Amino acid sequence: MDARVVAQVSSRSSRETSGQDCTGRSLAEMRCHGRPWNRSRGIVRPDVAGGTIMLVSRRSYMAERATDLNPCGMDDKSRATDELCSALADRHGKTGARKNTMVMRLFGFARICAFGVGMAASTSAALAFDTFDDSNGGVRAESSPWDVFKFGYSAYQNGHKDQAAEAYRYAAEKGQIGATWKLARMYASGDGVARDDYEAYKFFSEIVEQDVEPGSRDESYVSDALVALGGYMKTGIPGTPVQADPLAAQEYYMRAAANYRNPSAQYEMGKIFLKGDGGVKASVRQAGRWFQLAAEKGHAGAQATLGNLLFQSGKVVRGLAMMTAALERAPPADQPWIRGMQEEAFSLAGEADRRTAIALAQDILGKGVEDSQ
């Protein structure tokens, strides 16, 4: 059954016009006015309810990234100490973290996931890619890594995680970074495969070794892999060659926090400066700056910790409000320690401050940390 595709492309393109119709049983067979559809011309966006697939110009999805300050790329090193930035630069043979001057292409994993959902919603749509050979259950040799990755996602969504793992592995071996990340996550959590942290570690390591510029479409994979590796290096992996290495963990976190502005990494950097781990000079000020960056992106742990620092420094209302808001949005694993911190502060605050803090917490939940100041 043919899929009807409505192409909405930029007026800058001389070869395509807005609103043209394209048809085909799959994207590989798509024809627009007799010409093959060129993936470089547009981005696929499924409209499941409408039964169509939107082909949108890449230019229309280019947007300037929000400019978090790069701690190691600033002349004013108030966002990270000179000692740590210099140590990281020496270890990597660099003069500092690269400034992010690129434009983000919003064609990351979220759009890959959206495409997979759209295809899974159509009858036998996943099999339309002709990715697997029914005769032997293996991957067809002529299948592209991209198509195999899409098949893997569709299989995963439909509960066929064994097929998904096979497809991801094939695509990963062919250099598909998204498939490598999915495999790493499956092994890290035991999702559809036996949990194997060392196997996950190896896949994450493959990802961070690739040359992915900040702002590129694969940025999120590298950013998440760096944070995962930082966690493994903090504790090591028992029974494997991966031994605990706090300095290596700091390097992974700094790279993710400064180059890719990952909130989890920024939170980890805040904890490092707060405790003075790994030989870093403890600094509440530097810790607070990292927590602020992560909190502005909605990281509950950073919001709670920053709120506690503010409360202890005398900013009772603001601190209590941040802890209260953090408790509301925290994942289940973080709720116990955040609740204990918030309840202790609540018991110490006066009645008037409590009421004001509760109102401010609602403002923070609605507007965010930065806009509620």
Chain centroid offset of residue 274 CA: 25
Residue 279: the pLDDT is 84
For residue 278, the model assigns a pLDDT of 80
Share of the chain above pLDDT 90, in %: 56
- In this prediction, residue 132 has a pLDDT band, given cuts at 50, 70 and 90, of low
- pLDDT class of 114 with cuts at 50, 70, 90: very low
Strand partners, 45: 54
What pLDDT does residue 41 have? 36
Asked if the model's pLDDT at residue 53 lies above 90, the reply is no
Task: Look at residue 371 in the predicted model and tell me its pLDDT.
Answer: 65
Nearest of 26, 43, 35 to residue 119 by alpha carbon: 26
* 142-164 mean pLDDT: 91
Q: Any idea which residue has 């064609």 for tokens? A: 107
Taking the C-alpha atoms of residue 66 and residue 182, their distance in angstroms, rounded to an integer, is 27
With residues binned 3-state (H G I as helix, E B as strand, rest as coil), the percentages for the chain, rounded to 5, are 55, 10, 35
Among 21-35, 193-207, 227-241, the least confident range: 21-35
pLDDT for the residue 373: 62
C-alpha–C-alpha distance, residues 341 and 253, integer Å? 25
Residue 43 has pLDDT above 60, yes or no: no
Q: 122 vs 51, 53, 125, 143, 160, CA distance in Å?
A: 9, 11, 5, 21, 17
Residue 25 has a pLDDT of 40
- What single letter denotes the amino acid at residue 31? R
The angle, 0 to 180 degrees and rounded to 10, between the axes of the packed helices 263-275 and 300-312 is 30
Tens-place pLDDT, residues 298-336: 999 999 999 999 999 999 999 999 999 999 999 999 999
How far is it between the farthest Cα atoms of the chain? 73
CB 274 within 8 A of CB 284: yes
pLDDT at 136 over 70: no
> Which DSSP symbol is given to 105?
E
Average pLDDT, the chain: 74
Cβ atoms of 20 and 32 closer than 8 Å: yes
pTM: 0.64
Higher pLDDT, 172 or 122: 172
Question: Mean pLDDT throughout 221-242?
Answer: 97
Q: Where are the beta strands (DSSP E) in 58-120?
A: 62-63, 104-105
Q: What is the mean pLDDT of residues 28-36?
A: 46
Q: Quick one: average pLDDT of 334-363?
A: 97
pLDDT score recorded for residue 368:
83
Average pLDDT of the residues in 189-205: 97
Residue 69: predicted pLDDT: 38
Identify the pLDDT of residue 143.
Answer: 73
